[in-house]
Amino acid sequence: MGKVVTLLHWHERAIQLRKEHPKMTNMEITEVLNREFPEAIGYEAVKRFLTRQKGRITFEDKKEYTTDDIDEYAKKVHELQKVMAKLNTKQVKATFTINDDKPVAIAHWGDWHEGGLGVDYDRLEEDTETIINTDGLYWIGMGDYKDNYQANIHPGAQYEQIIQPGMQDLLVKRRMERAADNCIALVRGCHDDWDKKTGDKDFVSAMCEITNAINLWHGGDLYIKFGQCEYHWKVRHKYKYESTLNLENAMRRIMEMQGACDVAASAHLHNPYFMERHLMGEFRIMLRSGSYKVWDEYAQKLAGLKGKPGVPCVIIFPDKRQMIPLMLDKAVEVLKTLRETGR
């Protein structure tokens, strides 16, 4: 096919080709035009022109984008992903060093359920003061810091709250500020995670900023360097394989699947306990923190169950690899003696 000289502009020929050959692609039309016209005609120019044509209508200023625009957009998305990764503090493994030559205690403190109607606020405040004011005691947040019931998540449960979730955030934030100095890490619980079902709010990450603590996401591994010793914790708000008949089942199974640790800690069931078992060649501690939400409609409906406050602690030593599990009050008493006497 020779060069076309009768047409005033390639626009007319492009329209003609589209009418005569409606199945021709924009690229095929571009190739024909470049064979028939002396000037170089780019694919994007042909595409832009043809998308402005709609029957007898020619759009003069219809907004359009090109494949170059899409390529540039994709590049920016990739760049933004890298920046967002830098801003994301969530992790599933972390190592920290305790710089002390005396025994310390690590408390497992969670299920505050701030704002809930059935919460023992007197006990919560009492434990807060104890944790803040005990030398050598550190804490890991076990999740469910606020009640956070919302109508579209658990209809009806929002009526068992004294205040709504927005005001609950203020109470949690203030308690976190008060106890920030000895906070090691925070994990998120299911009540905290409900924020993600209603928007893009990441409440626990914000609390990690306030406390300058490790953002252990939904849970993970903590490796503790302390004097001459190293300890390994596995921490989650709840594990798979939970059983009301065998309280240690979930933590035992997680060690079987993911490897052994010194302490496996969880929360969620509102029933505090600790136990020491000989597993995989060594004695290991499995514990669960309690809850200040001592009653609610759901627990009563299940089987008349009640929550029980309790903060299990583990005392560890810098010069010998030893762990002592105790509940908060007793742990504080023993820790004080150990730090005063050195033994």
pLDDT, mean of each 10-residue run, the chain (343 residues): 56 88 90 90 86 71 79 95 94 98 98 96 98 98 94 74 94 98 97 85 95 97 98 94 76 88 94 91 94 84 81 97 98 97 74
State residue 151's pLDDT score.
72
The pLDDT score that the predictor gives to residue 218 is: 95
265 contacts 140 by C-beta, under 8 angstroms: yes
Q: Who contacts 106 (Cβ-Cβ below 8 Å, separation ≥6)? A: 137, 138, 139, 140, 184, 224, 233, 313, 314, 316
**Nearest-10 crossing angle of helices 203-211, 165-178:** 20
Q: In what order do the strands lie in the sheet with 282-288?
A: 93-98, 219-226, 229-236, 263-266, 282-288, 273-279
Give the C-alpha separation, 296 to 300, whole Å: 6
Task: Note the pLDDT of residue 343.
Answer: 65
The 10 Å Cβ neighbour count of residue 31 is 15
Place of tokens 């394989």: 241
What span, in angstroms and rounded, lies between the C-alpha atoms of 47 and 33?
12
Q: Which two tokens stand for residue 100?
A: 């002390």
Reduce the DSSP state of residue 337 to 3 states and report it: helix
Identify the pLDDT of residue 4: 47
Q: What is the pTM of this model?
A: 0.82
> Beta 323-327 vs 137-141: how paired, if at all?
unpaired
Predicted local confidence at residue 6, as pLDDT: 47
pLDDT of residue 156: 66
Tell me, what's the pLDDT at 5?
Answer: 44
Inter-residue contact 248 to 265 (CB < 8 Å): no
- Residue-range domains of the chain with CATH: 1-86 (no CATH), 88-341 (3.60.21.10)
Among all chains, which residue has been given the structure tokens 């030593």?
317
Dmax (CA) for the chain in angstroms is 106
User: 108: which strand partners?
Assistant: 140
The burial of 176, by beta-carbon neighbours within 10 Å (0-12 exposed, 13-18 middle, 19 or more buried), is given as: buried
pLDDT for the residue 152: 77
Taking alpha carbons only, the member of 248, 215, 249 closest to residue 89 is 215
